[in-house]
């Protein structure tokens, strides 16, 4: 019997000064990375680190460099902080082994995000299991942390929840674990929707509804709406997001330096009161609809 061929992924390895790992990770995600990891184990704080991104298709070398340089500049860093960029093939089993080596349970607010193979000690926190599948959103990125923290503080049992750009479904699953009622997640990427459904089943929340596609005007309103996207995606649909929010609108995927952009857009939409939280170079914006308008 012929052995089943192993699937091959593609990887881009960027060796950098440790101060710029977040900027480079952001650049690689913009290039369409299905997952990223930072090799920081057993290294001194000043040692160079490798940011690795996995892809279905290998991006052009010039495109990789151009996007990395753009995000370095956006963060205020120099080109010299990138020491090397290389590309390689990665067999699926190798990739999974790397995840198991580097990804450990992460405590975020009321939650602990953990892979299925890791034991979690007795804890009062709510455990969310995420299967490694090369999709962005394992709960370790600052934007996801900001959203999970806010959901843990603001979401009440039996409220409805809308997750725009659901990714791995982690935020919708968090709402379900807090006792949510009607929960809906949408994403324009079909693979993300498939992964979100698998993760929901893993967390005994298979009743969450996920669908491929963008936020639409004919969708109902929800108590808490979360949009962990990017500012260039959020601003054009901001009025629609506000219209679909009955109580709290939670925005993230926004760089701290883009604070004025989102603040101006909210002002143009008639929102005068909102709260900004920060983690690293990223922010979340929390709008309470009961007090956000003039």
pLDDT of residue 2: 47
* Homologous superfamily of 8-100: ACT domain (3.30.70.260)
| CATH pick for 103-288 out of 2.60.120.590, 3.40.50.150, 3.40.30.10, 3.90.1150.10 | 3.40.50.150
pLDDT of residue 96: 64
All structural domains of the chain with their residue ranges:
8-100, 103-288
Whether 41 contacts 102, CB under 8 Å: yes
The two beta strands, 82-91 and 35-39, are: unpaired
CA 228 to chain centre: 7
Residue 252, beta-bridge partner list: 228
For Cα atoms 41, 46, 51, give the angle at the middle one, nearest 5 degrees.
50
Q: Which residue in this structure is represented by tokens 């939650």? A: 111
Phi, psi values for residue 126, rounded to 5°: -90, 125
Tokens of 275: 């709260």
Tokens of 41: 């184990």
Q: What is the Cα gyration radius of the chain?
A: 19
Are both 8-100 and 103-288 of the same fold? no
Which residues in the chain land under pLDDT 70?
Answer: 1-6, 40-42, 92-96, 98-102, 122, 132-140, 292-294
pLDDT of residue 1: 42
pLDDT of residue 166: 92
pLDDT of residue 4: 53
């Amino acid at each position: 019997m012929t052995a089943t061929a192993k699937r091959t992924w593609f990887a881009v390895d960027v060796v950098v000064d440790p101060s710029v790992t977040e900027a480079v990770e952001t650049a690689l995600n913009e290039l369409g990375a299905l997952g990223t990891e930072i090799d920081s184990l057993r290294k001194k704080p000043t040692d160079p680190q490798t940011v690795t991104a996995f892809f279905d298709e290998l991006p052009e070398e010039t495109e990789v460099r151009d996007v990395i340089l753009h995000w370095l500049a956006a963060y205020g860093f120099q080109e010299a902080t990138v020491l090397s960029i290389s590309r390689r093939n990665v067999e699926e089993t190798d990739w999974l082994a790397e995840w198991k080596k580097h990804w450990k349970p992460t405590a975020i607010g009321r939650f602990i995000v953990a892979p299925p193979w890791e034991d979690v000690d007795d804890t009062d926190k709510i455990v969310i299991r995420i299967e490694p599948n090369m999709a962005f959103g394992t709960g370790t990125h600052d934007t996801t942390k900001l959203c999970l923290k806010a959901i843990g503080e603001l979401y009440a049992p039996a409220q409805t929840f809308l997750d725009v750009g659901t990714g791995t479904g982690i935020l919708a699953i968090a709402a379900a674990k807090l006792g949510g009622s009607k929960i809906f997640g949408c994403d324009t990427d079909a693979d993300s929707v498939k992964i979100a459904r698998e993760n929901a089943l893993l967390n005994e929340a298979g009743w969450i509804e996920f669908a491929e596609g963008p936020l639409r005007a004919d969708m109902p309103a929800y108590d808490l709406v979360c949009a962990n996207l990017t500012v260039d995606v959020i601003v054009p649909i901001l009025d629609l997001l506000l219209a679909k929010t009955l109580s709290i609108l939670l925005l993230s995927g926004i760089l701290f330096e883009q604070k004025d952009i989102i603040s101006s857009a909210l002002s143009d939409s008639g929102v005068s009161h909102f709260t900004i939280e920060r983690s690293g170079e990223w922010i979340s914006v929390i709008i309470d609809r009961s007090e956000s308008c003039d």
